Amino acid sequence: MAVVESQKASDKCLNVVIYALLVLVMIVTLYPCWYVIVASFSNPVELYNGSTLLLWPRGFSTEAYGIILEHTMLWRSYGNTLIYVSASTILGLALSIAGAFVFTRSYLPGNRFMLSLVTVTMFFGGGLIPTYLVVARMKLVDTRWAMILPGLLSSYNLIVMMSYFRGIPASLEESARLDGANDFVILTRIIVPLSKAVIAVIALYILVGSWNSYMPAIIYLRNRDLYPLQVILREILISGSSNLDTVTSGFDDFAAYSEAVKYASIIVSTLPIIIIYPFLQKFFVKGVMLGAIKG
């Protein structure tokens, strides 16, 4: 009896330690995000002159957001990013679904060979200069398509989609063929409806990757009117200025102004992803788990 009570006491102590560690990890993980949010709503001068630790806004102020919202270049880049993200997600999903469906048809000639070529690209890239030459030869430099086409299809996304498609019972396809269904009908009426979870996962991968992409813009774009949001945000973070005409309007300290704009820009750039993710979270968890089991 004493042994059992001793084990219960040790289990309770272990649980306390585990929960304490989890709480510590949660605080360490969430505090940087909380700091950025709080700092973006703080008075710039008070924030700059205050201590490093920040739990609540210092002198609540939305002036930094007001300046950002008046920044025409930022809004133009926001619109460009929405175009790039929408086109990349829709076209990338279409190619991933179509490619995964084709590669899971074992009766097609050369299927394995083509799949091996796709898999090789996961380990060996074409290189920056050859890729740029291809994009330039196709006359895509300084166009919106340069932000969409080069990274449209991911080998990883294709393989994840394939592993999920292989888990769908073959009897469903056989029954559909007996009823006279062709490949297109099977894909659109059977495969896609049963694969909503993994499609949501791939869509989230493509969306986040396209939203955070800035290297293609730096390489392929010269026209600032085509810049995505992340490039403008990068310029703000590096230069410490939003390049507005009213750089020091309302602020006595340029450094304080720079800090306020940085934090507000981060919130503005990440807000759409934060809003979208809760709606896709259930599909994301389900798709990853099912894909892992079936793969």
Residue-level pLDDT at 265: 81
pLDDT, residue 273, reads 80
- 6-55 pLDDT, tens digit each: 656 677 788 888 999 999 999 888 888 888 888 888 877 777 676 666 77
Q: Mind listing the pLDDT tens digit for each residue in 210-226?
A: 988 888 999 999 898 89
Q: Which residue has the higher pLDDT, 241 or 43?
A: 43
The gap from C-alpha 173 to its chain's centroid, in whole angstroms, comes to: 33
Identify the top-confidence range among 77-91, 173-187, 196-210, 222-236: 77-91
Rounded mean pLDDT of 240-268?
62
What is the model's pLDDT at position 293? 46
pLDDT in tens, 31-40: 888 888 888 8
Query: Contact 222/147 with Cβ under 8 angstroms?
Result: no
Query: Of 214, 221, 220, 210, whose CA–CA distance to 135 is shortest?
Result: 220
| CB-CB contact of 230 with 269 (8 Å) | yes
Instruction: Answer yes or no: is pLDDT of 139 > 80.
Output: yes
Mean pLDDT, the chain, integer: 81
Q: Which residue has the tokens 């099912």?
A: 290
Percent of the chain whose predicted confidence (pLDDT) is above 70: 82
User: Would you kindly state where each structural domain of the chain is located, as residue ranges?
Assistant: 65-295
Rounded to whole angstroms, how far apart are CA atoms 20 and 27? 11
Q: State the pLDDT at residue 242.
A: 45
pTM across the whole model: 0.77
Q: Under CATH, which architecture does the 65-295 domain have? A: Orthogonal Bundle (1.10)
pLDDT at 50: 64
Question: What's the half-sphere exposure (Cβ side, CA atoms, 13 Å) at 166?
Answer: 16
Torsion of CA 269, 270, 276, 281, to 10 degrees: 160
CB burial class (10 A; 0-12, 13-18, 19+) of residue 129?
A: exposed
pLDDT band at 97 (very low <50, low <70, confident <90, very high): very high
pLDDT (0 to 100) of residue 248: 47
Which residues neighbour 173 within 8 Å (Cβ) at sequence distance 6 or greater? 186, 190
Instruction: Give the lowest-confidence range in 96-100, 106-110, 218-222, 289-293.
Output: 289-293
For the chain, the first-to-last Cα distance in angstroms comes to 47
CB 198 within 8 A of CB 162: no
Q: Is the pLDDT of residue 240 over 70?
A: no
**Residues 241, 99: Cα–Cα separation, whole Å:** 44
Of 99, 90, 211, the closest CA to residue 160 belongs to: 99
Average pLDDT of span 110-139? 85
The 3-state secondary structure of the chain reads: CHHHHHHHHHHHHHHHHHHHHHHHHHHHHHHHHHHHHHHHCCCHHHHHHCCCCCCCCCCCCCHHHHHHHCCHHHHHHHHHHHHHHHHHHHHHHHHHHHHHHHHCCCCCCCHHHHHHHHHHCCCCCCCHHHHHHHHHHCCCCCCHHHHCCCCCCCHHHHHHHHHHHHCCCHHHHHHHHHCCCCHHHHHHHHHHHHCHHHHHHHHHHHHHHHHCCCHHHHHHCCCHHHCCHHHHHHHHHHHCCCCCCCCCCCCCCHHHHHHHHHHHHHHHHHHHHHHHHHHHHHHHHHHHHHHHHHC
Q: What is the Cα–Cα distance from 201 to 203, expressed in whole angstroms?
A: 5
